[in-house]
């Protein structure tokens, strides 16, 4: 079995252990040949739905958006709409995004294993953009299939122990649960507050990774060694945005240079894992929704 295939399977079961969440994974179809990975996680309370979607998981345009909607058990209807963007790797503004508006007339929250149907795409000003289809599967179904595959892997004598260790589900979930930030990438985070905290630390074994941190081109940390203890840097978004630049100063004893990065805004936390080699850099743009 191809190693990349296993990574794909495990990527789709990210974050499946929260008991009160309803999780569906699959894809959106916007033409006969164009499919984009899609994930939604939501909670239902007295018919109201709140949660988020992630489009293009792990891709160059990965985008996390808030969703809200309603569920009527009697009529078997479920509807949700994407609204504000939480973060995106796509180099376009929030007004340029095509938000999904979906409704199913044959859905049972407790029994349905599939969530599929047509959606309408609208810009933030309600003008039409691209319509398409959603085809998704309940996360629990994917987990059961994946567990069977994992057991076969562990019993196989054709797969080396080192490869089995690489596809260890617990380790993969820990890693893939993070939004990876790589060389020359820019992650745009839309905030509701002008004040946020940047939190950085080594999430695994301390291996001497060092970084320099710039905020709006001002050097904040020079050649800082990442340790398990959190380093907290308050940031004020003074203007339309604040830009965080991360520069890897070395590869540490275990390449590449990795660091857990958290953007904390009041009660909301966005997790990122920087993955850089010596001399490489990546950016995070903080964009306040309070500015127009």
CATH number reported for the structural domain that contains residue 89 in this entry:
2.40.128
**Residues 126, 200 share a domain:** no
Residue found under tokens 């930030």: 181
3 state DSSP class of 6: helix
Within a domain: residue 268? Answer: yes
Q: How far apart are CA 48 and CA 55, in angstroms?
A: 22
Within a domain: residue 111? Answer: yes
Q: What pLDDT shows up at residue 21?
A: 84
**Residues 195, 102 share a domain:** no
Within a domain: residue 10? Answer: yes
Q: What pLDDT shows up at residue 161?
A: 65
Helix, strand, coil % (nearest 5) of the chain? 15, 50, 35
Within a domain: residue 202? Answer: yes
Q: What is the CA radius of gyration of the chain?
A: 20
Give the DSSP letter of residue 96.
Answer: G
Q: What pLDDT shows up at residue 204?
A: 83
Q: What pLDDT shows up at residue 84?
A: 87
Within a domain: residue 161? Answer: no
Within a domain: residue 153? Answer: no
* Of 92, 112, 140, the domain-final residue: 140
b/e burial code for range 235-273 (CB count within 10 A of at least 16 → b) = bebeeebbebbbbbbbbbeeebbbbbbbbebeeeebebb
Question: Can you give the pTM of this predicted structure?
Answer: 0.77
Q: What pLDDT shows up at residue 42?
A: 94
Give the containing element (helix H, strand E) for 62: none
Q: What pLDDT shows up at residue 177?
A: 54
**Residues 218, 267 share a domain:** yes
Residue found under tokens 């196989």: 156
* Of 114, 140, 166, the domain-final residue: 140
Question: Looking at the 3D structure of the chain, how many domains does it have?
Answer: 2
**Residues 209, 128 share a domain:** no
Using 50 as the pLDDT threshold, list the residues of the chain that sit under it: 1-19, 170-171, 173-174, 291-292
Within a domain: residue 159? Answer: no
- Residues 137-154 have pLDDT tens digits of 875 655 565 556 666 666
Residue range of the domain that includes 34: 3-140
**Residues 95, 206 share a domain:** no
Q: Of 40, 32, 31, which Cα lies nearest the Cα of 63?
A: 40
Q: Which residues contact 248 (CB under 8 A, 6 or more apart)?
A: 209, 210, 211, 256, 257, 274, 276, 277, 278, 279, 280, 281
- Starting at the edge strand found earlier in the chain, the sheet holding 231-236 runs 179-181, 268-276, 257-265, 195-201, 231-236
Within a domain: residue 164? Answer: no
Q: What pLDDT shows up at residue 82?
A: 96
**Residues 243, 131 share a domain:** no
- Domain of 273: which CATH number? 2.60.120
């Amino acid at each position: 079995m191809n190693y990349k295939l296993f990574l794909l399977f495990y990527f789709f079961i990210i974050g499946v252990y929260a008991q009160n969440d309803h999780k569906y994974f699959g894809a959106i179809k916007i033409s006969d040949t164009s499919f984009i990975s899609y994930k939604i996680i939501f909670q239902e309370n007295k018919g109201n739905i709140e949660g988020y979607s992630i489009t293009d998981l792990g891709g160059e345009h990965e985008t996390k958006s808030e969703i809200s909607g309603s569920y009527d058990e009697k009529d078997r209807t479920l509807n949700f709409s994407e609204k504000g963007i939480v973060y995106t790797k796509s180099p376009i503004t929030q007004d340029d995004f095509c938000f999904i508006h979906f409704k199913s007339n044959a859905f049972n929250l407790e029994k349905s294993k599939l969530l599929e149907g047509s959606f309408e795409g609208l810009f933030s000003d309600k003008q039409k953009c691209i319509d398409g289809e959603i085809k998704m599967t309940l996360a629990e179904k994917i987990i059961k299939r994946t567990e069977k595959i994992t057991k076969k892997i562990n019993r196989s004598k054709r797969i080396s122990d080192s490869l089995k260790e690489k596809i260890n589900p617990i380790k993969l979930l820990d890693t893939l649960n993070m939004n990876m930030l790589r060389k020359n990438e820019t992650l745009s985070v839309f905030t509701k507050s002008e004040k946020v905290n940047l939190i950085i630390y080594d999430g695994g074994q301390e291996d001497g990774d060092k970084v320099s941190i710039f905020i709006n081109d001002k050097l904040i940390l020079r050649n800082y060694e990442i340790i398990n203890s959190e380093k907290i840097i308050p940031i004020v978004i003074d203007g339309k945005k604040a830009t965080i630049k991360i520069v890897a100063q070395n590869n540490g004893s275990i390449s590449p240079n990795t660091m857990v990065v958290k953007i904390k805004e009041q009660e909301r936390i966005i997790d990122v894992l920087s993955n850089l080699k010596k001399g490489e850099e990546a950016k995070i743009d903080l964009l306040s929704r309070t500015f127009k």
